[in-house]
Structure 1
Amino acid sequence: MLYLEDLKVGDQFKSREYEMTLAEVEEFAHKYDPQVFHIDAEATQTHPVFKKIVASAWHTSAVTMRLLTECFPIANGLIATESSLRWTRPANVGDRIHIEIEIVAITPSITKSDRGIVTYVSQARNQDGDVLLLATNKILVMKSNLGHGQS
């Protein structure tokens, strides 16, 4: 687990790959985003933008969150305080998504000495390196109460 004192600007993290299967894309869409281009291959062929089933942007976001929790092990969890999110292209069925994270700022709290705000940029990419999702996030990160990571 990582604490505030373990992190520095420029630190990078990379996740494992996660495959977007047709069954999962359709299941997520039926549950949370039941639009034709997520669930009906035949109807999507005549859609003005998408010609095949694509994953919901929210599904891509959920997968991104899953991968974040695995490769960015912040003690006490990823407690979001702010996020700016762009979906630059859809995830296709069969895409293998991974995420890349870079810490761009660390701001210690002025009023609470046991914590700070860490700003990081994350990119969800497919197997070809195409960016599917780009986000800038701020999270609350606690310092270790045991002196963990301090020099």
Structure 2
Amino acid sequence: MTVFLDDIDRWDGESHGTYAVTEAEIVEFAERYDPQWFHTDPDRAADSIYGDLIASGWHTASMSMRLFVDGFLEETAVLGAKGLDHLRWPAPVVPGDELTLHSTVHGVDESDGTDDYGVVRWGVETTAGEKTVLALEALVLVKRA
């Protein structure tokens, strides 16, 4: 069943899926996109302020996006996105973390001059156990039925 704009409250307050983070994936992503030593060198990272290798914030955002698509967006009449607001990484992701994404509908804005879609302001929080590792507000274009 596809969820359209008028039914978007169906996804309010939902949590879906988990994502297991591995050291190999952290290093692979970082070597390609964010090659800072605390993402790529486990030995050096062990002596850092983090005490462990940490995932790039952009990697955390990418893993969160995967959970968001799998848990919410693939069943929603999404037309794209206008951007993100308030992106934060309050705590680092480390190897062995299991991520869970939580979402809350913050509101729906009318579209720019069309009745075909609206913009859902989705509050997104990704957690690893008790710690929040990502928080943002996604501005998602969702089609009307």
Report if TM-score (shorter chain) is over 0.5. yes
1:71-110, aligned counterparts within 5 Å?
71-73=71-73, 74-77=76-79, 79-84=80-85, 85-109=87-111
How far apart, in 1, do the equivalents of 2:11 and 2:45 lie?
Answer: 42
Asked if the contact 1:38/1:55 (under 8 Å) is kept, the reply is yes
Asked if the contact 2:67/2:100 (under 8 Å) is kept, the reply is yes
Report the equivalent of 2:12. 11
Aligned-partner SS, 2:113: coil
Asked if the contact 2:41/2:53 (under 8 Å) is kept, the reply is yes
Give 1 or 2 for the bigger CA radius of gyration: 1
Higher strand share: 2
How far apart, in 2, do the equivalents of 1:122 and 1:115 lie?
Answer: 21
Root-mean-square deviation (Å): 1.7
How far apart, in 2, do the equivalents of 1:96 and 1:136 lie?
Answer: 21
How far apart, in 2, do the equivalents of 1:10 and 1:58 lie?
Answer: 25
How far apart, in 1, do the equivalents of 2:11 and 2:62 lie?
Answer: 25
Asked if the contact 2:121/2:137 (under 8 Å) is kept, the reply is yes
Question: How far did residue 129 of structure 1 move?
Answer: 2.2
Matched, 1:52 2:34: no
Give the 3 Å change call, closer, same or farther, for CA 111–9 of structure 1 in structure 2.
Answer: farther
1:114 maps to a residue whose letter is D
Question: How far did residue 110 of structure 1 move?
Answer: 5.7
TM-score normalised to the size of structure 1?
Answer: 0.86
Question: How far did residue 13 of structure 1 move?
Answer: 2.2
Provide the aligned length of Structure 1 versus Structure 2. Answer: 141
Cα deviation, 1:51-105, whole Å, max 9, x if unaligned, reads: 211111111100000000011132145x111312111011010000010000010
Question: How far did residue 10 of structure 1 move?
Answer: 7.8
Moved >6 Å (runs of 4+): none
Asked if the contact 2:91/2:132 (under 8 Å) is kept, the reply is yes
TM-score normalised to the size of structure 2?
Answer: 0.89
Structure 1: segments with no counterpart, 5+ residues: 145-151
How far apart, in 1, do the equivalents of 2:6 and 2:45 lie?
Answer: 49
1:98 maps to a residue whose letter is T
How far apart, in 2, do the equivalents of 1:80 and 1:107 lie?
Answer: 13
